[in-house]
Chain A
């Protein structure tokens, strides 16, 4: 394992300390229990959005704390759900009295920990569960699909709506609608290495790839021979488009997400392949985002996400946002 670290046990604390110093105009870090919150109080009447999950997916979620997006984020240990004490402390810090919406990726650990926090919370809470990954079919597994990069789209749009004064029930319904209009799929070329484990999470040959990989290096659909970017994008887009149910002429948002070890040069090449296929399917790619948003430590590979847009959600996407990882319109 080659990483820029001091002590394996201190990685999260030291990284968060650096993050908070680097962005002290936007966020502040609370410790024991750990959470990241926006600078300044939540305006009266504004619902607070809190997300969280295992670390190792940076900039998700703490990088999206700020104006027009999240009010707070709870980072867990690497690839491990945060705990209810973090969620409760974050809720207490940012709830203006209008309630708290938890945005939770669909993993059992995250679901259970946020569920326990909701049971213990003093104020009103609601939850939006993201499950945009089409790679693993949910057939007999009621665990359902995984929440991946589409979560960024949900957090951005809900953040804009909360800023505009939407109430808790409205935000929950909107979150479910955006999640329902979003589909993703990923592909890994190499494994990630969890620092505490010290070695690769999975073995993968020089000429292999994992099609449909999860953001923790979990297996996807199948292990296949490495192919051209064109063939990889073809398979991922076919899976996404087949499930998205978008009609010809519809506007979509296309998000190309790197898993942490893939250069932007390759991500833009992938975007070039993906946008052509979306257009080939009769869709209009009205909005785009290319970069590393929901990573898997140092895994090489990428995911594609499509979100069906309408007038309202396009406006929410375009609304001003100022966070460590995303900024436009202000």
Chain B
């Protein structure tokens, strides 16, 4: 994976988070403590500040450094969770150019890290409710060698998964203190995960019009 691709991934993710920060904060105000967009934006702003250093590293090291940067800058629960996702994806990264199968393995490893760090699993109205369906979709497409339209199917999987979080009752995070009152709202962490997946897909598989 070239320097410029890592650079564009950072720029893509940071741009998406910045432009959706208010939306994430509004979602968090509904069922959390109302700062998700602010915290994520602070972390990704720092990634932008360090993008040249990070992009010069091998992919695995770049992901670990990006993850550690998010841990130290985002704070809250999102910092350790997104940080662990990136760090554990970095640990699973191949030395050379990653294949789609490698990306699938890396995402699975990152998700395992998030589950362990957050003591959470799917169905608890968290970022895992987007990440896991997306990882499953990617894994099955790679296994079946159905890579045509993969980008659209990943985006669709993320979108559907995000909307399903509205029907869930939160069991993790501050939203869990609301119990049934958390129903009817999208989960902010699931939303930021869907946005980041969209940004990554947008960079890795640009549509023909781009």
Task: Say whether B35 contacts A143, CB under 8 Å.
Answer: no
Q: Are B29 and A201 in contact (CB under 8 A)?
A: yes
Given A83-B79, A146-B177, A218-B174, A116 contacting B33 (CB threshold 8 A): no
CA distance in complex: A79, B34 (Å): 9
Q: Does A22 contact B (CB under 8 A)?
A: no
Q: How far is the CB of A140 from chain B (nearest CB, A)?
A: 7
Interface residues in A72-117 (C-beta closer than 8 Å to B): 76-85, 107-109, 112-113, 115-116
Q: Who on chain B is nearest to A217 by CB?
A: B33
* B145 in the interface (beta carbon within 8 A): no
Give the number of chain A interface residues (Cβ < 8 Å).
34
**How many angstroms between the C-alpha atoms of A33 and B172 in the bound complex?**
28
Instruction: Choose one: A80, A115, A140; the contact of B75 (CB below 8 Å).
Output: A80
List A contacts of B173 (CB < 8 A).
108, 143
Q: Residue A229 at the B interface, CB < 8 A?
A: no
Interface magnitude class on chain B = 20 to 34
Q: Is the CB of A80 within 8 A of B71?
A: no
User: A57 CB to closest chain B CB, in angstroms?
Assistant: 12
Query: Which residues from B are CB-within-8-Å of A143?
Result: 171-173, 176-177
A324 CA / B71 CA spacing, docked (Å): 30
Q: Is the CB of B76 within 8 A of A140?
A: no
In contact, B172 and A194 (Cβ under 8 angstroms)? no
Rounded to whole Å, the gap between the CB of B64 and the closest CB of chain A is: 13
Residues in A whose Cβ lies below 8 Å from that of B72: 33, 83-85
Interface string of B20-49 (1 = CB under 8 A from A): 000001000100011100110010000000
A142 at interface by CB-CB < 8 Å: yes
- Docked Cα-Cα span, A275 to B120, in Å, equals 41
The answer to whether B171 touches A216 (Cβ under 8 A) is no
Q: Within residues 155 to 195 of chain B, which ones have a CB less than 8 A from any CB in chain A?
A: 171-174, 176-179, 181
A197 within 8 A of B: yes
Q: 6 more A-B contacts (CB under 8 A) besides A79-B35, A113-B79, A142-B119?
A: A77-B42, A79-B34, A80-B39, A83-B74, A112-B79, A201-B34
